[in-house]
Amino acid sequence: MSLQKSLLALLILTIASSVSSTTCGSNPLLDIYGITAAFSDAQVVSGINYCKSLQGKETCCDADTINGFQDKADDLLKKLSSAVGKRDQSLIKIRKDVLPSLSGKLSSLEDASAKAAAKIQKIMAAGGSGDATTDMMNALVLAMAMVYEQMAKQLTDSLSAIKDDFTDYQKARSTCVVDIVKIQAAAWCLACSPEYTTEGVSASGIEFSDNLIQTLTDSCTAYFTGAVTQSVIFSVDLMASYLSSITSAFKDVANGDEDGATNFMTALTKMAASQAELSSASMPVELPSGCTADECDWIATTMFKGGVLDETSLTLGGTEKSSGLGNRRLEEVKVNNRMLTNSWDPDTDEAGVTVTFSDNPGGVDNSSGALFKGMIGGLIILLGVLLI
């Protein structure tokens, strides 16, 4: 009798577990993605064209909802295409309209910075100005002036590499976007799954498996690094408007103007502050902190936070460069592998939607705005100082 009771209890527990695992409506992804569950209890639905894991199996969504995922993917691709196209157009416009006008400004900067450095060195050799604050400011300006002087003398031909690498950058971006959108579509399928609790879904979103993160890292690393390289052009554009003010401040220092050093720091501060007003079409970016060629948890923790794609981050191909005078550099940090029991590790083509993305959605001409020699090596050094 006791054995029968035990078997009956086990049967009841099994049935209860089965019912609870197939109950619909409590999957947090439904609200996150704006998807409505069609049933209270999951059921097999015919006529499903997408979501391979749900075909012939129980689901919480009807066929119309799931078959609408292709339209959702198309809408997402359209928005991403428009955003990156505008960014490409902005980059080419800067190359064409801004860079050629910088030669004369850089020449003036070289002369002014050299004279400012000579003036401050003379003051320091004589024992200083007599004011500790002024001497500290002068020491800072001296260090930066000497860097600028060397920068202007060591201009290289490497700007042409940015032009040569542009088409590779566009191709890498397409690869990344296609894979990311496929995973986003797969996540919509997960919202319709009654077995979501075993797939890393919680109230905070989706826990990506290490394997999935690695797959997306492999797909997107070339795009991220290329985005940072191309982003130098946007930093140059930001800096170009302030070259005259910086050069003028150096001239003030060279002429003994006691406000020269203050004017110099003011110019740097204004330049940094202006970055906050830039649109995503011309925002300089840097590699996400902790991202390397081997790992990039940022994809799951930030770009896909909560299981929702941050379209701006994907469009930029990284994180916005620090807008203050602090310029964070890439932290080559190896993140420890996580031991996850419930994480999401889908087939990358789980949704089965068609995803294509043009390499050149903005229709830009990479040959336009010929890049003149003797520019970018110095500009990179300059930017490294201006934005530190």
The whole domain housing 212 covers 72-386
Kindly state whether residue 123 falls inside one of the protein's structural domains.
yes
> Which spans in 155-206 are helix H?
159-191
Contact predicate 72/211, CB 8 Å: no
Q: Which residue has the higher pLDDT, 262 or 92?
A: 92
Query: If you average pLDDT over each of 184-193, 299-308, 320-329, 372-381, which comes out highest?
Result: 184-193
Q: Which residue has the higher pLDDT, 45 or 115?
A: 45
Kindly state whether residue 2 falls inside one of the protein's structural domains.
no
In terms of Cα–Cα distance, which of 206, 212, 209, 211 is closest to 193? 206
Domain count, the chain: 1
pLDDT score recorded for residue 148: 59
Instruction: Indicate whether 366 pLDDT > 80.
Output: yes
pLDDT score recorded for residue 130: 77
Instruction: Indicate whether 326 pLDDT > 60.
Output: no
pLDDT in tens, 254-309: 898 878 888 888 887 887 777 667 777 888 889 998 898 888 999 999 999 989 99
pLDDT score recorded for residue 281: 80
Lowest mean pLDDT among 69-83, 207-221, 222-236: 222-236
Instruction: Indicate whether 335 pLDDT > 70.
Output: no
Lowest mean pLDDT among 103-107, 210-214, 272-276: 272-276
Kindly state whether residue 48 falls inside one of the protein's structural domains.
no
Query: If you average pLDDT over each of 3-12, 86-95, 354-363, which comes out highest?
Result: 354-363
Q: Supply the DSSP string of 301-341, one letter for each residue.
A: IIITGGG---HHHHHHTSEEPPSSS--PPP---PPPPP--S
4 burial level (CB within 10 Å; 0-12, 13-18, 19+): exposed
What are the beta bridge partners of residue 344?
A: 208
Kindly state whether residue 335 falls inside one of the protein's structural domains.
yes
Kindly state whether residue 135 falls inside one of the protein's structural domains.
yes
The pTM of this model reads 0.77
Kindly state whether residue 375 falls inside one of the protein's structural domains.
yes
- Measured at the CA of 157, the angle between CA 156 and CA 163, to 5 degrees, comes to 135
Kindly state whether residue 360 falls inside one of the protein's structural domains.
yes
pLDDT score recorded for residue 266: 85
Q: Quick one: tokens of 133?
A: 């604050």
Contact predicate 162/316, CB 8 Å: no
Provide the pLDDT confidence category of residue 10 given band limits of 50, 70 and 90.
Answer: very low
Instruction: Indicate whether 338 pLDDT > 50.
Output: no
Residue 208 DSSP class:
B
pLDDT score recorded for residue 1: 46
Kindly state whether residue 18 falls inside one of the protein's structural domains.
no
